Amino acid sequence: MIDRSRKPEIKKVSRIKLLPLEEAQLNNASLLHFLPDTLYDVFQIEWVFPAGKWFESKKGVAGFTARMMREGSKKHNALQLATMIDELGAEIDISISSDYLSIKAMGITRQFDPILNIVAEMLYEPVFPEDELQLKKKISLQQLLVNREKVEYLASRKFMETLYGNTHPYGYKLDEQDIEAIQRDDLLSFHRQKVLASPAWIFLSGKAPENYLQTLESMLSGINPEHKTPVIDLRETEHLEKGGKAFVPKKEAQQNAIRMGRHLFAPSHPDSDRMKILITILGGYFGSRLMSKIREEKGYTYGIYSSMQSHVHGSFLYLATEVGRQYLEPALKDIYHEIEVLRSEAVPADELNLVQNYMLGSALNAIDGPHKAIGLYKNLILRGKGPQDFEKYIHTVQNISAAELLTMAEKYLDPSRLLEVIAGEK
According to the model, what pLDDT value does residue 203 have?
97
Confidence (pLDDT) at 225? 62
* Angle, CA 172 vertex, CA 232 and CA 240 arms, to 5°: 75
CA dist., res. 416 & res. 116, Å (int): 52
Distance (Å, whole) CA 265 – CA 412:
11
Q: What is the pLDDT of residue 226?
A: 60
Architecture of the CATH domain 22-220: 2-Layer Sandwich (3.30)
CA–CA separation, 207 and 400 (whole Å): 38
The rounded radius of gyration (Å) of the Cα atoms in the chain is 24
**Cα separation, 209 vs 206, whole angstroms:** 10
Longest dimension (CA), the chain: 70
CB–CB of 41/108 below 8 Å?
A: yes
Instruction: State the number of CA atoms in the 13 A half-sphere of 176 facing the CB.
Output: 4
Q: Which residues of 307-343 are buried (b: 16+ CB within 10 A; e: fewer)?
A: bbebbbbbbbbbbbbbbeeebbeebbebbeebbeebb
Cα separation, 302 vs 149, whole angstroms = 20
In angstroms, the CA 391 to CA 425 distance is 47
Q: Render the burial of 345-377: b for 16+ CB within 10 Å, e for the rest.
A: eebeeeebeebbebbbeebeeebeebbebbbbb
Q: Which spans in 151-211 are helix H?
A: 151-164, 176-181, 184-190
Q: Where are the domains of the chain?
A: 22-220, 244-424
At residue 227, the pLDDT reads 55
Fold of 244-424: Cytochrome Bc1 Complex; Chain A, domain 1 (3.30.830)
Burial of 7-46, coded b for 16+ CB within 10 Å and e otherwise, reads: eeeeeeeeebebeebeeeebebbbbbbbbebeeeebbbbb
Is 244-424 in the same CATH topology as 22-220? yes
Between CA 406 and CA 410 the distance in angstroms is: 6
SS3 for 269? coil
- Ramachandran region, residue 146 (left: φ > 0; alpha: ψ -120 to 50; beta: rest): alpha
DSSP per-residue letters across 407-422: HHHHHH--GGG-EEEE
pLDDT at 199: 86
Q: CB within 8 A of 158, min separation 6: which ones?
A: 246, 248, 259, 421, 423
**To which H or E segment does residue 142 belong?**
helix 130-147
Q: Evaluate whether 423 touches 256 at the Cβ level (below 8 Å).
A: yes
C-beta neighbour count of 164 within 10 angstroms:
22
Q: Say if CB 68 and CB 133 are below 8 A apart.
A: yes
- Listed residue (11, 10, 12, 19) closest to 391, CA to CA: 19
pLDDT tens for the chain, 426 residues: list them. 778 888 888 777 888 888 899 999 888 778 999 999 989 999 999 999 999 999 998 999 999 999 999 999 999 999 999 999 999 999 999 999 999 999 999 999 999 999 999 999 999 999 999 999 999 999 999 999 999 999 999 999 999 999 999 889 999 999 999 999 999 999 999 999 999 888 899 999 999 999 999 999 888 766 666 655 555 554 555 555 667 999 999 999 999 999 999 999 888 899 999 999 999 999 999 999 999 999 999 999 999 999 999 998 889 999 999 999 999 999 999 999 999 999 999 999 999 999 999 999 999 999 999 999 999 999 999 988 999 999 999 999 999 999 999 999 999 999 999 999 999 997
3-class SS string, 311-372 = ECCEEEEEEEEEEEHHHHHHHHHHHHHHHHHHHHCCCCHHHHHHHHHHHHHHHHHHCCCHHH
Distance, in Å, from the CA atom of 395 to the CA atom of 102, rounded to the nearest integer, reads 31
